């Protein structure tokens, strides 16, 4: 049973969903994920190429499945997706009761399209539809980057009823592009006489801001950018969902694209492990955190009251950061590019490691 005194339970009580930013076959088979669900208020999880590169590349947990797949003549990418889908199906089944109990709002797992499709709208749509059909789980998000090429794919996929986790968002402008794509997809569904209820989250990366700006800020502004940008974005989300346009869709049964805080583990070992997760709590939001951060939160976390949604303190901090010489728009664009490139690198390493395993086992 979840201990209501634990910091994880207190954060969950603020209305925030706690998701694990990790998946491995060992996590599933050891019962660890089930323990996190039962004891630490975990209600979903996310994955990405870096996570799978570490999971599949290390040890022998996936060797038995790869041994079965190797003679089938599949490409290395196809072998990967077979392994990933099996993991995520099992994880989705763990979260199925939560998905049902929350009326399809929570209890999601996420699988990302190939990062090599980041600049290919049509290819992204085709692969997302294929992966979601093969996984055959209603509580599986397909992750699509919120890049200029990704947003048209997001609109089309939402129109087709595919739940989407929009990833690689860093700024208010990135968020607004994502929520606009989501909303257009819902509007097209309404116009076509389809259900307006399609799940989605907008994943905003937090800690990478502070790492990117650290060298160019005075001591009093160090490690303030990510939290301030989150405050700006939650204000934009609050304002958007108060518009007549959105309220009209909500009245027809549409559900909000929830803001998800990603990259909430601290990168600087001198910082408190729960620096971000303690202050980013709030209703109708998600925080997906690395396993280490989740465990630190459960032991030493101190969740605060729900974060402000008026943006006043956030804008004051961002004004000071801008005055110190940081071009926030330029940094946001660079962070999105770097994030895309990082996933590309992990993808190539993942495919190479699987290729070696396939060749060795074959």
Instruction: Give the tens place of pLDDT for each residue, 273-285.
Output: 999 999 999 999 9
Q: What is the pLDDT of residue 362?
A: 66
Instruction: Give the tens place of pLDDT for each residue, 132-168.
Output: 999 999 999 999 999 999 999 999 999 999 999 999 9
Given 54, 143, 235, 299, the catalytic residue: 143
* pTM for this entry: 0.96
Chain mean pLDDT for the chain: 95
| pLDDT, average across residues 16-39 | 97
Q: Is 143 one of the catalytic residues? A: yes
Q: How far apart are CA 87 and CA 230, in angstroms?
A: 31
- DSSP code at position 214: G
Between vectors from CA 322 to CA 317 and to CA 325, what angle results, nearest 5°? 135
Q: How far apart are CA 56 and CA 77, in angstroms?
A: 13
Beta-strand ranges (E) seen in the chain are 16-20, 42-45, 109-112, 140-145, 164-169, 200-205, 258-262, 285-289
Pick the CATH number of 7-361 from 3.20.20.70, 3.40.50.300, 3.40.190.80, 3.10.20.340: 3.20.20.70
Domain ranges of the chain: 7-361
- DSSP code at position 218: -
Instruction: Give the tens place of pLDDT for each residue, 54-108.
Output: 888 777 899 999 999 988 989 999 999 999 999 999 999 999 999 999 999 999 9
């Amino acid at each position: 049973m979840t201990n209501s005194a634990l910091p994880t339970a207190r954060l969950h009580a603020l209305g925030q969903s706690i998701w694990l930013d990790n998946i491995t076959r060992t996590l599933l088979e050891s019962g660890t994920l089930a323990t996190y669900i039962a004891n630490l208020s975990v209600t979903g999880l996310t994955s990405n190429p870096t996570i799978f590169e570490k999971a599949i590349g290390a040890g022998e947990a996936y060797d038995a499945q790869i041994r079965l797949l190797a003679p089938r003549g599949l490409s290395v990418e196809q072998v990967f997706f077979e392994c990933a889908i099996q993991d995520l199906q099992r994880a989705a089944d763990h979260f199925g009761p939560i998905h049902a109990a929350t009326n399809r709002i929570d209890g999601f797992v996420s699988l990302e399209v190939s990062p090599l499709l980041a600049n290919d709208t049509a290819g992204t749509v085709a692969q997302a539809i294929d992966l979601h059909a093969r996984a055959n789980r209603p509580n599986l998000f397909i992750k699509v980057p919120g890049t200029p090429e990704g947003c048209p794919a997001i609109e089309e996929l939402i129109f087709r009823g595919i739940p989407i986790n929009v990833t690689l968002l860093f700024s208010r402008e990135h968020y607004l592009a994502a929520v606009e794509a989501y909303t257009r997809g819902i509007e097209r569904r309404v116009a076509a006489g389809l259900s307006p209820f399609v799940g989605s989250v907008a994943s905003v990366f937090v800690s990478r801001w502070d790492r990117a700006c650290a060298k160019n800020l005075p001591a009093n502004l160090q490690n303030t950018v990510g939290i301030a940008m989150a405050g700006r974005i939650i204000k934009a989300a609050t304002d958007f969902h108060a518009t007549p346009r959105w309220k009209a869709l909500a009245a027809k049964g549409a559900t909000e694209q929830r803001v998800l805080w990603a990259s909430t583990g601290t990168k600087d070992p001198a910082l408190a492990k729960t620096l971000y997760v303690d202050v980013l709590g709030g209703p109708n939001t998600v925080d997906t955190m690395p396993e280490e951060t989740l465990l630190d939160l459960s032991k030493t976390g101190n969740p605060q009251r729900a974060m402000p949604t008026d943006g006043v303190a956030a804008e004051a901090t961002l004004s000071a950061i801008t005055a110190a010489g940081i071009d926030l728009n330029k940094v946001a664009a660079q962070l999105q590019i770097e994030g895309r490139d990082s996933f590309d690198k992990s993808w190539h390493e993942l495919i190479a490691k699987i290729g070696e395993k396939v060749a060795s086992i074959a």
